[in-house]
Amino acid sequence: MNEQSTYTADREAYAQNTISVVQRTKQFLQRITDREELNAFITIDANRAVVSAGESDERFTAGLDRPLEGLVVALKDNISMKGLPSTCGSRMLEGYVPLFDATVVERLRNAGSIFVGKTNMDEFAMGSSNETSAFGVVRHPVDVSRVPGGSSGGSAVAVADNMCHVALGSDTGGSIRQPAAFCGTYGLKPTYGRVSRYGLIAFASSLDQVGLFSRSVADMETVFDVLAGHDPMDSTSIEAPSIVALPTNRPIRVGAMPMSQLTGCEQSVIDAYSRYLEALRATGASVVDVVLPHSETWIPTYFILATAEASSNLARYDGVRFGRRVDASDGDITTASRTAGFGTEVKRRIMLGTYVLSSGYYEAYYGKAQMARRLIRDAYVDIFKSVDVLAMPTTPTTAFGIGEKSDPVSMWLSDYFTVSAPIAGIPALNIPFGTDSAGLPIGMQLQGAMNSDEMLMGVAATILT
């Protein structure tokens, strides 16, 4: 099996009958089994995947193939799919099986996609290493002693290790882009509202966004074209976005985050960033330093807003109406259920979120974070009046060792380059850009104005050529 298999290449092979969809699907499923030690999947749906693949082969034979016929997809385990468990990586939802499809699942299935299973993730998408899952740590495909990043670590590993063509994830503060950088794949966090969130189990509703991992820009563009679009089931869905396209009458203008703002970066990342800017210049782009205002507020703003929303969203899991039920001798079922059902990191964030929303501290923390969010958004609007895209690293380091970051604050700081895009609601894309001396992937990031998702993918494709 070609380790660099892409859907774009496979679709041509399907049409020419040089390989069948069933054959390719079985190869992916075998790869999942062969690399079981990576723990990328929580649930594998092999039988239905092979049946769906057979139906795709029949459609190719009859000339009735759909836009994504034979695309093999993995789903992060917080995206609902009818008849398949959705645990969110938590004991709290162990055994929960949705009775409906998320809109993204419905759109992919209607376009001919095949689903091989649900990928492992940090519990309720809270984490940057995929060490908080109740179903075990996910391991890096290059070095199993290291983390793949999180929270969508299983999806990143599935794509990086050739277990599927593409995978869906969710990005709240970097949960697609950071593991994509660690594992060496493309990872897109779309503009907030471009892709439906209906059927995504919520962590922080004003920040969560469904996105995708791929091994090529072409695959990403093809899949995004199907995923994007208004959904009446999602009240935050954009009805008619004004798409920001690549300029055709002038060079693209790139704003580069200056070296002085590269907080905590390893030398290998700094060196790669310099090469990245040179690669952008080589395409004819105009590259100028742009200082990003309020960068010192990104991390505290994000964690105050995200934990506050998590506290509210996860209040429903009380063991009575929703979630795992644990009987208690003193009759306090809610406390017993939440104590047994949630892991340490989720409990930490619920407690922090409850604190910042409490009556004595609401304005001091949550109110100020909302004001900071407005300042960050306004700063981005001003920046994109003079540049088309922003360039910066995706992560300050390459993949770190399992258990290396036991201090939660040091773990949170690894999200420095990724949290501002969700705060502002703008799209951001990780581009794999070489490796360090140990062979670990390095990721570089592009950010754009609202609805410039297609532009970011176009710039990424240009860098490759």
Rounded-to-integer distance, Cα 430 and Cα 445, Å: 5
Distances (CA, A) of 186 to 75, 129, 156, 213, 345: 16, 18, 9, 6, 27
3-state secondary structure of 89: coil
- Give me the active site residues, please: 76, 151, 175
DSSP tag of 193: T
3-state secondary structure of 406: coil
Phi-psi category of residue 455: left, alpha or beta, with phi > 0 → left and psi -120 to 50 → alpha: alpha
Phi-psi category of residue 205: left, alpha or beta, with phi > 0 → left and psi -120 to 50 → alpha: alpha
Closest to 138 (Cα-Cα) out of 48, 225, 230, 42: 42
Rounded-to-integer distance, Cα 433 and Cα 454, Å: 20
Strand order in the sheet with 286-289: 41-44, 114-119, 72-76, 166-171, 209-214, 186-189, 428-435, 441-448, 389-393, 253-256, 286-289
3-state secondary structure of 405: coil
| DSSP H helices in 17-102 | 21-34, 46-62
Closest to 460 (Cα-Cα) out of 422, 435, 426, 430: 430
Backbone angles phi, psi at 322, to 5 degrees: -140, 155
Closest to 225 (Cα-Cα) out of 137, 104, 341: 104
Q: Is 68 exposed, middle or buried (0-12, 13-18, 19+ CB in 10 A)?
A: buried
Phi-psi category of residue 304: left, alpha or beta, with phi > 0 → left and psi -120 to 50 → alpha: alpha
3-state secondary structure of 256: strand
CA 142 to chain centre: 20
Strand residues in 108-252 grouped as ranges (E): 114-119, 166-171, 186-189, 209-214
Closest to 346 (Cα-Cα) out of 93, 132, 85, 119: 132
